[in-house]
Amino acid sequence: MADELAREVMEYDVVIVGAGPAGLAAAIRLKQRNPEVSVAVLEKGSEVGAHILSGAVIDPSGLTALFPDWKAKGAPLETPASRDRFLMLGEQGAFDISWLPMPGYMKNHGCYVASLGNLCRWLAGEAEALGVEVYPGMAASELAFAEDGAVKGVVAGVFGIARDGSHKPDYQPGVELHARYTFLAEGARGSLAKVAQARFGLCDKAEPQKYGIGLKELWQVPAEKFQPGLVQHTFGWPLDDKTGGGSFLYHFGDRYVAVGFVVHLNYKNPFLSPYDEFQRFKHHPAIRAHLEGGRRVSYGARAISEGGWQSVPKLAFPGGALIGDDAGFLNVPRIKGSHNAIRSGVLAADAALAAIAEDRRGDELSAYQSAYEASDIARELRAVRNVKPLWSRFGTVLGVLLSGIDMWSTRLFGGFSPFGTLSHGMTDAAATGLAKDYQPIAYPKPDGVLSFDKLSSVFISNTNHDEDQPCHLKLKDPSIPIAVNLPRYGEPARLYCPAGVYEVVTDQAGAEPRFVINFQNCVHCKTCDIKDPSQNIVWTTPEGGGGPNYPNM
Ligand SMILES: Cc1cc2nc3c(=O)[nH]c(=O)nc-3n(C[C@H](O)[C@H](O)[C@H](O)COP(=O)(O)OP(=O)(O)OC[C@H]3O[C@@H](n4cnc5c(N)ncnc54)[C@H](O)[C@@H]3O)c2cc1C
Ligand code: SF4
């Protein structure tokens, strides 16, 4: 209690948690429309962009809504997408399916290959120039509630708590940032959004949110291999037909190749390791041809929200709103969410501006909900609503074929689908199968040229956390990993975590195994919070500034 009394309170009209495209777009729109409105943006990364991990092929429609003159202003979208290629991979060969007719929105003509992190760095500069207060290194760790139960802001910037909970000499109790409206723009599986969703029942009428884990490396390749603007996607190997996912490979900028692999987190085999699937995937002849002779520059991972239209929660709650991927606005077949994140920030900002003009505070921005329902975001997500359920039900080959038919149907018949609206069914955690029904997978050893072990990968993500702080990966029941998850599922955290945070260690022969959490390696992907089959791991914010420091990701 003494801590809370000591907290300084800062007052704003709007406080935004997360300096991704959604949060920064909302901040910019607020200030563009009304320079008198006070706006703060909090970012847990050491700088804006440090925690942003994306592909990215960027559809500029969102940015254009914000800055029609973004080109003249120097937004870092320099490489136009020049060529689309789709491949179905077998173990050695590749079948080019680029000729298959796709609805126009699946083509990348008019899009740009870029680093979303760098776009966010640029947006933050524009926001600051308009008078937005941007605070990097400030993790928003709690929601603050008013007496009537509405959200009145957040607690941020708590520093200097030791691992054992005691206060270190540099202890700071943090600040309470109060606002008329608080926007949660934390990206996929936001930790504060989870609290708001539970408290206000925001997901009660929605399907469970679905996720994928996206792993990405940035390579710099020799000039003769560089094909600026090439956008390549694959399905198939190394995943089997029942395990959803695929890859992306984009050429852009200064001889960069962004290569990434997505595994849908409803996979069943608890022995599957998305990290190792990604590493072996790079050895495929159709992939290694792009990377050989190049140098790996960076590595990272991040969850992607994949539930789409059926899973969008109620967006507004008393005193705030969910925007961007905190609300799940990513379009799965396009693997694009940044344009919708920006669009949603604009819609929420407009609703807040109207409310502020009427001197309201702390109520529900129902105008944002209605604006979303009539928006391009909703239209776009509705048109592809069955793609993910079709993949999940029918596997990759048949699922891709049926989803193609479905997308053409919604395109040609005003949103009509012969499948109606399919349900996602269970959560990704509940989809995990039992260890007794599967065989462990023997992954090839990394060769240190194209493939690498987890620790050397985490090293180049520049991840860092002060080790003398409480572990931010909380176990609701510390006995579950060894007593339940190990016998039932082989403790899949060892394998799904892309940073080697979780280990099951046996100190000596015959000793009881221990569950070890190397939290300092965490790259903030949120996969454990999503996939733990016992839903026992809760991702919370560590001290601000900790986590990865991604360059150009
Ligand atoms: C591998 C991969 C490939 C992708 N490819 C593409 C693509 O090619 N094109 C495309 O358009 N989209 C792509 N996406 C999706 C796109 O990245 C997202 O849709 C987009 O980043 C969502 O923006 P956002 O602002 O909602 O969240 P984010 O971009 O995730 O930003 C959230 C920000 O909030 C911060 N934050 C979170 N919690 C807190 C807290 N409690 N306190 C303070 N700060 C906090 C985070 O550090 C982060 O900086 C891809 C995603 C992945 C993972
Ligand atoms: S500990 Fe969890 S959030 Fe951190 S890298 Fe591992 S799976 Fe991702």
Q: Report the alpha-carbon distance of residue 321 to residue 184 in Å, rounded.
A: 6
Cβ neighbours of residue 352 under 8 Å, at least 6 residues apart? 13, 14, 30, 180, 181, 183, 321, 365, 368
Among residues 23, 470, 89, 70, the alpha carbon closest in space to that of 249 is found at: 89
Q: Report the alpha-carbon distance of residue 277 to residue 91 in Å, rounded.
A: 12
Q: Report the alpha-carbon distance of residue 21 to residue 391 in Å, rounded.
A: 28
Position in ligand 1 atom list of the atom nearest CA 304 = 53
Position in ligand 1 atom list of the atom nearest CA 215 = 1
Cis geometry, peptide bond prior to residue 103 (ω within 30 degrees of 0): no
Q: Report the alpha-carbon distance of residue 107 to residue 307 in Å, rounded.
A: 21
Q: In what order do the strands lie in the sheet with 295-305?
A: 94-96, 83-89, 230-236, 245-252, 256-264, 211-220, 295-305
Ligand 2: residues whose CB is within 6 Å? 473, 497-499, 501, 522-528, 539
Ligand 1 centroid to 71 CA: how many Å?
22
pLDDT tens string, the chain, 553 residues long: the values are 444 457 999 999 999 999 999 999 999 999 999 999 999 999 999 999 999 999 999 999 999 999 999 999 999 999 999 999 999 999 989 999 998 888 888 899 999 999 999 999 999 999 999 999 999 999 999 999 999 999 999 999 999 999 999 999 999 999 999 999 999 999 999 999 999 999 999 999 999 999 999 999 999 999 999 999 999 999 999 999 999 999 999 999 999 999 999 999 999 999 999 999 999 999 999 999 999 999 999 999 999 999 999 999 999 999 999 999 999 999 999 999 999 999 999 999 999 999 999 999 999 999 999 999 999 999 999 999 999 999 999 999 999 999 999 999 998 988 899 999 999 999 999 999 999 999 999 999 999 999 999 999 999 999 999 999 999 999 999 999 999 999 999 999 999 999 999 999 998 888 999 999 999 999 999 999 999 999 999 999 999 999 999 999 9
- Neighbouring CB atoms inside 10 A of 476's CB total 11
Q: Are 161 and 168 in contact (CB under 8 A)?
A: yes
Ligand 2 centroid to 163 CA: how many Å?
19
Among residues 255, 384, 256, 331, the alpha carbon closest in space to that of 58 is found at: 331
**What sign results for the dihedral spanned by CA atoms 396, 398, 402, 404?**
positive
Ligand 1: residues whose CB is within 6 Å? 17-23, 42-45, 51-58, 116, 139-140, 185-187, 190-192, 214, 216, 260, 302, 304, 324-326, 330, 335-339, 341, 541
Ligand 1 centroid to 540 CA: how many Å?
17
Q: What is the secondary structure of 6-72 as a DSSP string?
A: H-EEEEEEEEEE--SHHHHHHHHHHHHH-TTS-EEEEE-SSSTTTT-----EE-THHHHHH-TTHHH
Q: Report the alpha-carbon distance of residue 247 to residue 235 in Å, rounded.
A: 7
pLDDT for the residue numbered 1: 42
Q: Report the alpha-carbon distance of residue 275 to residue 216 in Å, rounded.
A: 10
Tell me 346's DSSP state: H
Ligand 1 centroid to 62 CA: how many Å?
15
Among residues 118, 154, 116, the alpha carbon closest in space to that of 138 is found at: 154
- 132-151 b/e (C-beta count within 10 Å ≥ 16 → b): bbbbbbbbbbbbbeeeeebb
pLDDT for the residue numbered 214: 98
Ligand 1 centroid to 143 CA: how many Å?
20
Position in ligand 2 atom list of the atom nearest CA 531 = 7
Q: Residues for the chain: how many in total?
A: 553
Q: Which protein residue's CA is at the shortest distance from atom 7 of ligand 2?
A: 497
Give the ligand at the shortest distance from the Cα of 531. 2
Q: Report the alpha-carbon distance of residue 76 to residue 336 in Å, rounded.
A: 18
Ligand 2 centroid to 506 CA: how many Å?
22
Ligand 2 centroid to 60 CA: how many Å?
31
Q: Report the alpha-carbon distance of residue 42 to residue 143 in Å, rounded.
A: 13
Largest CA distance in the chain: 70
Q: Report the alpha-carbon distance of residue 340 to residue 323 in Å, rounded.
A: 9
Q: Are 366 and 23 in contact (CB under 8 A)?
A: no
Q: Report the alpha-carbon distance of residue 364 to residue 369 in Å, rounded.
A: 9
> Facing residues of 89 across strands?
94, 236
pLDDT for the residue numbered 100: 85
- Neighbouring CB atoms inside 10 A of 3's CB total 14
Cβ neighbours of residue 129 under 8 Å, at least 6 residues apart? none
Q: Tell me which residue has tokens 């090439």.
A: 230
Cβ neighbours of residue 104 under 8 Å, at least 6 residues apart? none
Q: Which protein residue's CA is at the shortest distance from atom 3 of ligand 2?
A: 526
Q: Tell me which residue has tokens 């499948």.
A: 419
Among residues 228, 187, 207, the alpha carbon closest in space to that of 19 is found at: 187
Q: Tell me which residue has tokens 């710099």.
A: 220
Q: Report the alpha-carbon distance of residue 386 to residue 146 in Å, rounded.
A: 40
Give the ligand at the shortest distance from the Cα of 212. 1
pLDDT for the residue numbered 338: 98
Q: Report the alpha-carbon distance of residue 66 to residue 132 in Å, rounded.
A: 15
pLDDT for the residue numbered 265: 98
Q: What does the block give as tokens for 40?
A: 């703060």
Number of Cα atoms under 13 Å in the Cβ half of residue 280 = 18
Q: Which protein residue's CA is at the shortest distance from atom 15 of ligand 1?
A: 337
Q: Which protein residue's CA is at the shortest distance from atom 52 of ligand 1?
A: 54
